[in-house]
Amino acid sequence: MPTMQAVQVAKAGGPLEVVEREIPEPGAGHVLIKVQACGICHSDSLTKEGQWPGLQFPRVPGHEIAGVIERTGADVEGWSVGQRVGVGWHGGHCGHCDRCRHGDFVLCQSALVPGISYDGGYAEYMVAPQEALARMPDDLSDVDAAPLLCAGITTFNALRHSGARAGDVVAILGIGGLGHLGVQFARKMGYVTVAIARGQDKAPLAKELGAHHYIDSSAQNVGESLQALGGARVILATVTNGQAMSAAIAGLGVNGKLIMVGVAQEPVEVPVTQFIMGRQSVQGWPSGTAADSQETLAFSAISGVKPMIEEYPLARAAEAYDRMMSGKARFRVVLKPGG
């Protein structure tokens, strides 16, 4: 049997180790993907540390996968060998739970996640169900596409469903792995784009990414600064700090909404009177389906939105993962099998 290189975690909390495995065969309704690039996401720590309920080891992490279909299993329709595809967080759904019956596939009660439910993209090849596939534009590179399948879709999808219209004030709280894409999407969607981060040294980057305004949260009152711009219709919170989210809420305008996409451990405090009198709201937003991923990739290609990335070969996956977890990467880390 032909073999491949893969990077697996053998047990909860164990190291990322490079191993030789047999190239898997795609079953009915599945395809074999030759991985061209795979982003490393903070959520991969759920696999490495064994924090996902029912996780089985050994497991190959990775849910930001850009590749090419190598083989198709039986009953695969609409997909062909040689086709470029992406696979993101939404790695499949049951189709029969109450949420699926209402078309809410990303919230399926038995949802599958690549790198958690089955082996993901830290490998030369991986198998995915056809409902997890997103078509990839020809003019989008694999390394640019990979982070868009998680960080990209999360910010793009949240913004386009936010209710904000072109010309509205939209603030992006945090300029990191999610936020640096959120700023670009907000600008390309026609919003008056405000970037919020700590330190005046982030201002040039914020402007380079497309922000019309920059707020230094360490030196300025975020709420007052947003109100001076007319109040935010939307604040997209990409940070992982509940206190920072709470502090920004004072900047919401009438009908304003705080959308949380960064996972914080601390609760967010809401000023009840302000919310009542301003008809304001707080919302969480998960990533999206494969169709949403496909539309994220297409929008990024035509608008020029690109992630800032650091590339590593598959053999240095452990080093690349540590770089991402350190918070020092600018801003997404991508593995290149064969690189």
> Residue 195: beta bridge partners?
172, 214
> Residue 194: beta bridge partners?
171, 213
Domain 162-284 has CATH 3.40.50.2000: no
Report the distance separating Cα 145 and Cα 319, nearest Å.
Answer: 22
For 21-71, write each residue's pLDDT tens digit. Answer: 999 999 999 999 999 999 999 999 999 999 999 999 999 999 999 999 999
Pair of tokens at residue 14? 């164990």
Domain 3-147+288-336: homologous superfamily in CATH? Medium-chain alcohol dehydrogenases, catalytic domain (3.90.180.10)
| Residue 173 φ then ψ, to 5° | -90, 105
The yes-or-no verdict on residue 106 having pLDDT over 70 is yes
Instruction: Indicate if 162-284 has the same CATH topology as 3-147+288-336.
Output: no
Mean pLDDT for 119-148 is 98
Q: Where are the domains of the chain?
A: 3-147+288-336, 162-284
For 261-297, write each residue's pLDDT tens digit. Answer: 999 989 999 999 999 999 999 999 999 999 999 999 9
The yes-or-no verdict on residue 133 having pLDDT over 80 is yes
The yes-or-no verdict on residue 339 having pLDDT over 70 is no
Give the model's pLDDT for residue 1: 80
Q: In sequence order, which residues have a C-beta less than 8 Å from that of residue 225 and are 6 or more positions away?
A: 215, 251
Give the model's pLDDT for residue 195: 98
Give the model's pLDDT for residue 27: 97
Helix boundaries (H) for the chain: 45-48, 98-101, 142-147, 153-160, 179-188, 203-209, 222-228, 242-248, 272-278, 290-303, 317-326
As a residue count, the chain comes to 339
